[in-house]
Amino acid sequence: MSLVRLKIKGISYSQTQNGAYALILNEVEGDRKLPIVIGAFEAQSIAIALEKEIKPPRPLTHDLFKNFADRFDIVVKQVIIHKLVDGVFYSSIICERDKVEEIIDARTSDAIALALRFNAPIFTYRTILDKAGIFLKFSSKEKEKEEIDDSIVVDEILQEGETVEIDPGSQAPYKELSMDELRKELEKAVASEDYEKAARLRDEISKRK
């Protein structure tokens, strides 16, 4: 089976359920997206890894794994999303130490959080992308609607039976804040280790760039 390389497009939030997240992956040489429902903690960890300006005062779990691996000369070479069963994605982390390769089973969200920290490529099999990928092609006028469409994707896959841990916290009205206010709030959120809030603020800042 042939492998298809994926890149991270971003994290989308559900329009109808607070605390529901989906990681949106794009095939590198194509227009299909692979949406994967993930938990709140993993969404925060991935969002922080994507945003280089966010520096947590203490290492998150995935940062700790990276520090541990660096100390013992373990390198994550690549991540492969190798199986899809009943809507659940299964992944493998390909590691190397002393030129010996090991394959470690992992949740897809954890595997991708680590891939980001090691700058490792992410792959899936073409058969999985054919089965679960969503083909969305936009004209130049439709590009601005892409973020909304991603949120619709989250709601659709949640309705199909996917479940995530829901955070009862309400969404802050970040759209009312200026860019300077958003950046100040982001700094406060990181300092207080409120990474879910930081991820949302980072998402709002990214939308405006």
C-alpha separations of 62 from 27, 173, 175, 197, 209 in Å: 24, 29, 30, 18, 28
Give the dihedral of Cα atoms 40, 44, 46, 52; nearest 10 deg. 170
Domains defined along the chain, listed by start: 3-135 (3.10.690.10), 179-208 (no CATH)
Is residue 86 helix, strand or coil?
Answer: coil
In 3D space, the residue among 81, 93, 95 whose CA is nearest the CA of residue 123 turns out to be 81
Q: What is the pLDDT along the chain (209 residues), one digit of tens a residue?
A: 689 999 998 887 765 555 668 888 999 988 888 988 888 888 888 988 887 767 778 888 999 999 999 999 999 999 999 999 988 899 999 999 999 999 999 999 999 999 999 999 999 999 999 888 876 544 344 444 444 445 555 555 555 544 333 333 334 457 778 888 888 888 888 777 776 677 777 777 777 76
Q: Residue 171: what residue type?
A: Q
Q: Residue 146: what residue type?
A: E
